[in-house]
Chains A and B, each alone.
Chain A
Amino acid sequence: MSEDDRPDEPASDEFLARLEPEVERWQRERLIGARQATAILARYGLRPPAAVRAWRIGRLTSILAILGAILVGVGIILLIASNRQEFDLPRGLKVGLIMGTVVFLYAVGYVLRYELRFRLVGQAITFLGAVFYGAAVFLVGQIYNVQPNEPRLLLYWFVGVIPLAYLARSSAILALSALVAAAGLGMQAAVWMEDGGSSQVSAIRILALYGILGPLYYALAYVHAGLPSLRDLHRPLQIIGLVTALAALYGLGFTALFDLEHERVADLLGRLALVYSLLAGATVASFAAALYFSRRSLASLPYEAAAGLALVGLAFATAYIPIDEREPYAVFYNVLLLATLLASISVGVAQDREAYVNIGLAFFAVLVVTRYFDWASGLFDRSMVFLGAGALVLAGASLLESYRRRLLRQMRSG
């Protein structure tokens, strides 16, 4: 702390005696966070309150527990997945070991979290159980030589962990479930296209699928936010929804993608169209429910819902419109991505959502670098292209970082 930051007059003992418990109370009531509590007390030369110190130790414990749990889980997974001759156990024993580990991890997680009240470590072990269960699905599949690209395996993973996310009120497990569902849908769509007789899997249709799934997750996040019992779970869905939608638009911005698909693939009116329709219907219903629950508390929601539904409509159209001229599509999606990420930054600034600003700026940086390579690779020597890219990235990074900090400072100062 600089000399200028110190109070002009020394604080009275009476004031200091009152300040510490008061700050602890503010923190308990969530008026201020740990960082603000520490800063206020440091201004008067006081140590952080016990609650802040405990919070820091708790955070460290949580990080260490998660790291430890990941290392143990990865070790067991690699041991079985490597299929090594020296660990050539009978099939039944391997399966037993896998199932036993799943049950053991959940039992340890439960006891630590709910019986012994080691909340953070218990949460980490339960999350590890959910990850290990997914690995177990693939390991059992491997033991029986099940095709590794079977979407059924991801479906089993999703169905197994989604109830746990709500039961344990775990944002991490909900995020995991959302990602597994997204991967499974993509894989299933690819299989259906192959079944439908496509000579190739349509990347455009897969990206269109994510163009619908992103807004659906986003809408579901608002439904969660509107229900008091699920409010704590809305954040990961919101972030994954936003990133999925932006990533789909980013992918659709490549001209080459439309080049590859001069002849459209099969399954025009097949199962994939049904999935698009169901997801789109669920998105409309979720936004309607979110507006019903949260409209009064969130002024920007109708606009966000309108943007989300517009994206769903576009994604639908993208999957089925004929492709004659490739250029206009790519240009359109680049402009749309730019508009969406600017909207993300604007909502982030207006609603004090730091993640929106960071995600918007990150996509902006990636978009600029990608389009630079597209443009420059046909014009200059390769070394010049990379030199230029390096300079662009360095300059862009420092500009973006200073802009990001200014925005975040503005948001924090209110």
Chain B
Amino acid sequence: MEGRMLFRLGFLAVVVLQVALLLAILVPEERTLATGQEVLLQTVPVDPRDLFRGDYVQLRYTISTVHRPLGPGDSVFVALEKRGDTWEVREVYYTPPEGLFIKGRVATASGDVANIEYGIESYFVPEGSGHIIETASDVEVKVAVDSSGNAAIKQVLVDGKPFKP
């Protein structure tokens, strides 16, 4: 009887573990969305062959490319400043700077040009609606950036209006 109870508890513990792991994915994202400062980022065109991959759109931003001598795989903190409606790169640091910054990882680097990824490069869209973003002339992304530099996509704007497929 005791063994049966232990087994039940073990089974319950596994289910709790799985739910906890699912929460481990969503809690940091929710925290960033809830507490982060909202910034508007301008996207830049991506090679159309790579842009739409089935269920999600590949996004690149004006802040994705920086003209600094960085190494591939480097973890960096990109300080942002507002220019007009959108936010752009002010400076790139290896330690968290003062003011608003976003955390990224250098994906590729060549000479003084580095491509940085911020974990906001994929946007999942309803089936078959990727072409709307693909063919739009102006795509901006509303992103929440928390005090540690983590970012999460809040909304995609196509030609100034919220993306509605």
The interface stretch among A94-102, A244-252, A281-289, A402-410 is A94-102
The interface stretch among B35-43, B77-85, B88-96, B118-126 is B118-126
Q: Which of B103-149 contact A (CB under 8 A)?
A: 105, 107, 109, 119-127, 129
Chain B count of residues within 8 A CB distance of the other chain: 37
Tell me if A163 and B26 are in contact (CB < 8 A): no
Tell me if B25 and A145 are in contact (CB < 8 A): no
A22 CA to B116 CA, complexed, in Å: 74
Q: Distance (Å) between the CB of B162 and the closest chain A CB?
A: 13
The interface stretch among A48-56, A79-87, A367-375 is A79-87
Which of chain A's residues have a CB closer than 8 A to the CB of B18?
A: 102, 133, 160-161
Q: Distance (Å) between the CB of A224 and the closest chain B CB?
A: 19
Q: Which of A139-192 contact B (CB under 8 A)?
A: 140-148, 153, 156, 159-161, 163-164, 167-168
Q: Is B69 part of the binding interface, using a Cβ–Cβ cutoff of 8 Å?
A: no
Tell me if A142 and B10 are in contact (CB < 8 A): no
Q: Distance (Å) between the CB of A270 and the closest chain B CB?
A: 9
The interface stretch among A194-202, A233-241, A290-298 is A194-202
Tell me if B25 and A156 are in contact (CB < 8 A): yes
Tell me if B15 and A102 are in contact (CB < 8 A): yes
Which of chain B's residues have a CB closer than 8 A to the CB of A99?
A: 19, 22
**With A156-B24, A197-B72, A197-B73: A83-B127 Cβ-Cβ less than 8 Å:** yes
Q: Which residue of A lies closest to B24 (CB)?
A: A156
Q: Is B1 part of the binding interface, using a Cβ–Cβ cutoff of 8 Å?
A: no
Tell me if B22 and A163 are in contact (CB < 8 A): no
Q: Distance (Å) between the CB of A92 and the closest chain B CB?
A: 9
**With A156-B25, A196-B73: A145-B105 Cβ-Cβ less than 8 Å:** no
Which residue of A159, A196, A266 contacts B21 across the interface (Cβ within 8 Å)?
A159
Which of chain A's residues have a CB closer than 8 A to the CB of B120?
A: 145
Which residue of B25, B73, B123 contacts A137 across the interface (Cβ within 8 Å)?
B25
Which of chain A's residues have a CB closer than 8 A to the CB of B56?
A: 142, 145, 148
Q: Which of A200-250 contact B (CB under 8 A)?
A: none
**With A103-B15, A160-B17: A83-B72 Cβ-Cβ less than 8 Å:** no
Tell me if A144 and B127 are in contact (CB < 8 A): no
A147 CA to B120 CA, complexed, in Å: 7
**With A82-B126, A167-B14, A195-B105: A145-B22 Cβ-Cβ less than 8 Å:** no
Which of chain A's residues have a CB closer than 8 A to the CB of B21?
A: 137, 156, 159-160
**With A85-B165, A197-B72: A145-B17 Cβ-Cβ less than 8 Å:** no
Q: Which one of B15, B19, B109 has the greatest number of beta carbons of chain A within 10 Å?
A: B15
Tell me if A195 and B152 are in contact (CB < 8 A): no
**With A102-B15, A145-B153, A163-B14: A82-B127 Cβ-Cβ less than 8 Å:** yes
Which of chain B's residues have a CB closer than 8 A to the CB of A356?
A: none
Tell me if B73 and A195 are in contact (CB < 8 A): yes
Tell me if A95 and B26 are in contact (CB < 8 A): yes
Q: Which residue of A lies closest to B156 (CB)?
A: A145
Which of chain B's residues have a CB closer than 8 A to the CB of A160?
A: 14, 17-18, 21
**With A147-B122, A196-B72: A98-B127 Cβ-Cβ less than 8 Å:** no
A266 CA to B26 CA, complexed, in Å: 33
Q: Is the interface of A mostly helix, strand, loop or mixed?
A: helix
Q: Which residue of B lies closest to A98 (CB)?
A: B22
Q: Distance (Å) between the CB of B144 and the closest chain A CB?
A: 11
A360 CA to B16 CA, complexed, in Å: 41
A164 CA to B126 CA, complexed, in Å: 34
Q: Is A110 part of the binding interface, using a Cβ–Cβ cutoff of 8 Å?
A: yes
Q: Distance (Å) between the CB of A30 and the closest chain B CB?
A: 25
Which of chain A's residues have a CB closer than 8 A to the CB of B124?
A: 83, 142-143, 145
Tell me if B127 and A84 are in contact (CB < 8 A): yes
Q: Is A136 part of the binding interface, using a Cβ–Cβ cutoff of 8 Å?
A: yes
Which residue of A103, A140, A198 contacts B25 across the interface (Cβ within 8 Å)?
A140
Q: Is A316 part of the binding interface, using a Cβ–Cβ cutoff of 8 Å?
A: no
Which of chain A's residues have a CB closer than 8 A to the CB of B119?
A: 146-147
A196 CA to B109 CA, complexed, in Å: 11
Q: Distance (Å) between the CB of B131 and the closest chain A CB?
A: 15
Q: Which residue of B lies closest to A106 (CB)?
A: B15
A160 CA to B22 CA, complexed, in Å: 9
Q: Distance (Å) between the CB of B60 and the closest chain A CB?
A: 13
Which residue of A83, A140, A164, A198 contacts B22 across the interface (Cβ within 8 Å)?
A140
A194 CA to B30 CA, complexed, in Å: 29
A114 CA to B123 CA, complexed, in Å: 42
What does the 1/0 interface line of B6-18 toward A look like (CB < 8 Å)? 0100110111011
Which residues of A approach B to under 8 Å, CB–CB?
Answer: 81-85, 88, 95, 98-99, 102-103, 106, 110, 114, 133, 136-137, 140-148, 153, 156, 159-161, 163-164, 167-168, 194-198, 266
Which residues of B approach A to under 8 Å, CB–CB?
Answer: 7, 10-11, 13-15, 17-19, 21-22, 24-26, 29-30, 55-56, 71-73, 105, 107, 109, 119-127, 129, 152-153, 165
